[in-house]
């Protein structure tokens, strides 16, 4: 169901008169009928001079009053807390919410219905009936499925208690709202099957000789000051001179994901998390590409076009760091100046591993400005939305692995179109 209830339209006449009955009237339809019958019996008793009707009327009225009093003085409810499994929700993934309510049992047969208010962007059925005989601490569960990224407020928690006779009801609002962080959707992208040797990664690790490593030992000529313990006698006999062990330290190749947040390239809705579908697809693409590259053995850094870090760097193979990156990107929004053409300056003095740029509208001028980056990246990938087919063709001619980005297209397919050889087959 949808989250926050909508505000009712202003009405007049009978609907307006009945509004209090729907909202906070303490009597049910049965209780209201009992009051009418009791009052009518007392009035009729005087008219027909039948004393027994007075007893019946008084009994009905006293029963309704006692039913209402029992809801106030017998039932006791205290603090409300919630726990989430998993702790952080993600777009498109189901989460379980457990509501803990401290309570004291009421009258046997009393009925209590509960509901938890869900915000816009989170779907679920947060309603139910409190199990009979619940006492001490109630434990209620329901499932929700986030549809929008961001920090959402769940609650407050509501209880509607009805006495065993069904005459009176009491509505309670317990606790306050509780925030839940909804991270962007992480899509499992296909592996870089064609790039283990060309683009680096876990199958093609660069090495450099620095100090004392632990695993990869290579011999070098003895120099004054070297410890005698490091002499490699077998290599010394082979080279006919003293040789010592020099350790070889491995370095992990790096990859960079650039998420273009420039306000000029996105709609005004992108200034709020979870609202603009195109920007949400871009955020999901950025974190999904980071997860894929980390699995391939890269240290991944996520930047915006101004060079600012958007999240904690992701070490190669670290799935926990990917989750932290998703958490960092849960609240990212569009904003800032348009500096996409300046991105090649970040890599001007180095040869980078894969570079993935995620942006919105790309112009022929942008393709020209970005073309120097192609020569500095082992795998230049360009994901863009609101871009024409001829601009994509120019980008591919310049050396980019380009593909369109759209909320309506499968992200795994567009990643495969962008990274595999022969990307000119990309459809629009």
DSSP 397: H
The residue written with tokens 């060079």 in the block is: 307
Estimate the crossing angle of helix 319-328 against helix 277-295, to 10 degrees.
160
121-147 residues labelled b (16+ CB within 10 A) or e (exposed): bbbbebeeebeeebeeebebebebebb
Please list the alpha-helical segments (H only) found in 255-308.
277-295
Q: What whole-number distance in Å separates Cα of residue 71 and Cα of residue 142?
A: 26
Q: What's the pLDDT at 234?
A: 75
Strand 122-124: give its sheet, edge to edge: 76-85, 95-104, 136-146, 122-124
Strands 254-259 and 352-359: parallel
Say if residue 86 is preceded by a cis peptide, omega within 30 of 0: yes
| Sites in the chain below the pLDDT cut of 50 | 1-22, 196-199, 202-216, 248-250, 422-428
Nearest in space to 295 (alpha carbons), one of 383, 380, 377, 201: 201
Residues 21 and 47: beta-carbon distance below 8 Å? no
Q: What whole-number distance in Å separates Cα of residue 321 and Cα of residue 312?
A: 8
Q: What's the pLDDT at 170?
A: 87
The set of residues, in sequence order, having a beta carbon less than 8 Å from that of 251 and lying 6+ positions away, is 205, 206, 207, 208
pLDDT, one tens digit per residue, over 371-392 is 999 988 889 999 998 778 899 9
DSSP 168: B
Q: What whole-number distance in Å separates Cα of residue 377 and Cα of residue 253?
A: 12
End-to-end CA distance of the chain: 34
Residues 249 and 218: beta-carbon distance below 8 Å? no
Backbone φ, ψ for residue 426 (5° rounding): -60, 130
Nearest in space to 364 (alpha carbons), one of 328, 343, 342, 393: 393
Q: What whole-number distance in Å separates Cα of residue 107 and Cα of residue 72?
A: 11
Rg of the chain over all Cα atoms, to the nearest angstrom? 34
Compute the C-alpha angle 332/334/335, nearest 5°: 115
Which residues on adjacent β-strands are paired with residue 321? none
3-state secondary structure of 176: coil
DSSP-based helix, strand, coil % in the chain, nearest 5: 35, 30, 40
């Amino acid at each position: 169901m949808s989250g926050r209830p909508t505000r009712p339209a202003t009405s007049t006449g009978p609907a307006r008169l009945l509004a209090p009955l729907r909202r906070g009237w303490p009597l049910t339809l049965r209780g209201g009928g009992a009051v009418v019958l009791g009052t009518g019996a007392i009035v009729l008793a005087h008219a027909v001079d039948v004393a027994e009707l007075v007893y019946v009327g008084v009994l009905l009225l006293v029963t309704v009053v006692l039913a209402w009093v029992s809801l106030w003085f017998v039932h006791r409810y205290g603090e409300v807390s919630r726990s989430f499994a998993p702790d952080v929700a993600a777009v498109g993934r189901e989460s379980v919410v457990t509501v803990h309510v401290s309570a004291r049992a009421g009258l046997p047969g009393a009925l209590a219905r509960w509901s938890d208010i869900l915000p816009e962007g989170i779907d679920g059925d947060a309603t139910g009936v409190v199990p009979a005989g619940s006492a001490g601490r109630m434990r209620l569960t329901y499932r929700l499925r986030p549809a929008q990224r961001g920090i959402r407020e769940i609650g407050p928690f509501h209880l509607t208690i009805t006495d065993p006779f069904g005459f009176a009801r009491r509505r309670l609002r317990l606790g306050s709202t509780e925030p839940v962080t909804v991270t962007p959707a992480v899509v499992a992208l296909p592996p870089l099957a064609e790039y283990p040797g060309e683009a680096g990664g876990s199958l093609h690790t660069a090495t450099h000789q620095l100090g004392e490593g632990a695993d990869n030992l290579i011999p070098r000529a003895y120099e004054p000051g070297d410890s005698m313990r490091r002499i490699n006698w077998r290599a010394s006999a082979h080279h006919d001179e003293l040789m010592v062990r020099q350790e070889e330290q491995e370095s992990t190749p790096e990859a960079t994901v650039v998420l273009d947040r420039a306000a000029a390239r996105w709609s005004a809705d992108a200034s709020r998390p979870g609202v603009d579908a195109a920007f949400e697809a871009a955020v999901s693409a950025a974190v999904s590409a980071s997860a894929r590259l980390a699995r391939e053995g890269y240290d991944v850094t996520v930047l915006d076009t101004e060079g600012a870090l958007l999240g904690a760097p992701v070490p190669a193979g670290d799935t926990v760091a990917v989750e932290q990156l998703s958490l960092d990107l849960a609240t990212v929004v569009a904003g800032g100046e348009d500096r996409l053409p300046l991105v090649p300056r970040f890599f001007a003095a180095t040869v980078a591993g894969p570079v993935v740029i995620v942006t919105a509208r790309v112009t022929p001028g942008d393709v020209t400005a970005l073309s120097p980056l192609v020569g500095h990246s082992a795998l230049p990938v360009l994901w863009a939305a609101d871009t024409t087919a001829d601009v994509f063709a120019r980008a591919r001619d310049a050396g980019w692995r380009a593909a369109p980005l759209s909320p309506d297209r499968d992200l795994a397919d567009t990643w495969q179109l962008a990274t595999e050889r022969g990307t000119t087959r990309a459809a629009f």
